[in-house]
Structure 1
Amino acid sequence: MTKNVMVTGGNRGIGLEIVRAFAQKGYKVLLACREEEKGEAAKKDIVGGDVHVVEMPLNNEQGIIDPYVRAEAVYGPIDVLINNAGELDDTKWQSLNTMSLTRSLQVNTFAPFTLIQQALPSMIERGYGRVVNMSSGWGSFHQGMEGPTAYAVSKAALNALTVNLANTIPKDVDVTINAACPGWVHTRMGGSDAPTSPKEGADTAIWLATHDANGPNGKFFRERKEIGW
């Protein structure tokens, strides 16, 4: 049976490369993005594949839940969820206000949590599922939490969420939740000086989303190698 994968922020950069890869693998791909028009435009760049655009603004809980429920009603339950969309606010902490910090937390932490809440119970019930949270070394205590405050804090929270929820999954089901660090990637967020291509940045997330049974759970990876939280 064809598996369904949902990719947030799937209309550009790393997300688009993930969508492209899963389309080529024969998955039914739900390309979730803020504006349907941008998703449809990005979809034209994908040759073949079963790709469907889901308009899903991540700035509020109901704006996430309603499109998700509609998507499952039309296309069936989600087997693979990749929380790829993110926001990089590089405001220095001295100038950062709580509204901006909350906005970063909403996109980078709360939205993935809301989507996992929707997807995980069904995955556990059906005995199969993969969740991949696209994180960053800037959100790693092990690497010094050196990124801009709003981004680093929200990604560290995403890492904590990954471990916490992974620990709740029963041992007898083939369901995993892991985090991926794509590295410094040449995207609109990463900038033109970044040495890693979007396709290269997508590789670890795709690998984590397609691993065999008894694969990792509650771990953090870069270039398919486990790294410290």
Structure 2
Amino acid sequence: MARIFITGSADGLGHLAAKALIKLGHEVVLHARNEVRAKQALEKIPGAKEALIADLSSIAETKLLASKANALGSFDVVIHNAGVYQVSGQSVDGLPLLYAVNSIAPYLLTCLMHKPKRLVYLSSGMHLQGNTTLENLPLNIHSESSRITYSDTKLHDVILSMAVARRWADVYSNAVDPGWVPTKMGGTGAPDNLEKGFETQVWLAVSNDPEACVSGKYFHHKRQDHFLPISMDATVQEVFMTKCEKLTGVRLT
């Protein structure tokens, strides 16, 4: 039995992955952004161990979430599923909301939580249109920055997963494109298969298949897929990590 923590598991793909993993006999801890959603998640997934609460748009709350998770002990797997798509405006820290939730939150949790055996980061095929220069990333809170798009943040998730794979040789760290699936984020008209949208995360989390026991890869529907090669560039990875460190005061060790 594996111990698994899934961010953004009150609904959508995180919710479905949690149900599937519990059905397989694993221990799953959920995450929701507030008490109401946490209660609803536990009601919908009665086999879940518990639900931790934090608003991932807040640096302080994300740091506290890492502490709450660590208080439960080490997890075998962390699935960084939480994400937002069509949002604008700034976080409480003065950051673009997309950047705070999709990029900074997984960075902080990766740095601050006890190191798991496996890490899964949800990206998107839209990362192919992401800004590869990283020049638009803010270096401190409430600083002026260029517009950051959803595609940019999904590229950040691929870069982060590859950087972790390079630095932590004892951890399987991979990124996943779940496809355009009919969730609240994807919309009811999304054309991809919903089950295939979460089965790769489940597979990477607990399978002993040789194809799943790898690191530094990008998957779509349980197959390695094309991603921007620049994500593998150590210099680009270090630029991203350094900017995250300067912004948050937290370093990946």
Q: TM-score, normalised by structure 2?
A: 0.74
Partner of 2:81: 84
Percent identity, aligned pairs only, is 28
Distance in 1 of aligned mates of 2:112 and 2:26? 20
* 1:122 paired to 2:122: no
Task: State the number of aligned residues.
Answer: 209
Distance in 1 of aligned mates of 2:95 and 2:48? 37
- Cα displacement (A) at 1:66: 1.3
Partner of 1:62: 60
* 1:103 paired to 2:75: no
For residues 144-223 of structure 1, the aligned pairs below 5 Å read 150-170=149-169, 173=170, 175-212=171-208, 215-223=213-221
Deviation sequence 1:91-143 (CA, Å, 0-9, x none):
7xxxx999997221111111111111123x533xxxxx11000110001259x
Q: TM-score, normalised by structure 1?
A: 0.81
Deviation sequence 1:169-213 (CA, Å, 0-9, x none):
13xx3x211001110110111111013354331011111112328
Gaps of 5+ in 1: 124-128, 143-147
- Cα displacement (A) at 1:13: 0.9
Does the residue aligned with 1:177 lie in a helix, a strand or coil? strand
Answer yes or no: is the 8 Å Cα contact 1:4–1:76 preserved in 2: no
* CA RMSD of superposed structures (Å): 2.7
Report the AA paired with residue 52 of structure 2: V
Query: Which moves more between the two structures, 159-168 or 191-200?
Result: 191-200
Does the residue aligned with 2:4 lie in a helix, a strand or coil? strand
For residues 129-140 of structure 1, the aligned pairs below 5 Å read 129-140=117-128
Does the residue aligned with 1:167 lie in a helix, a strand or coil? helix
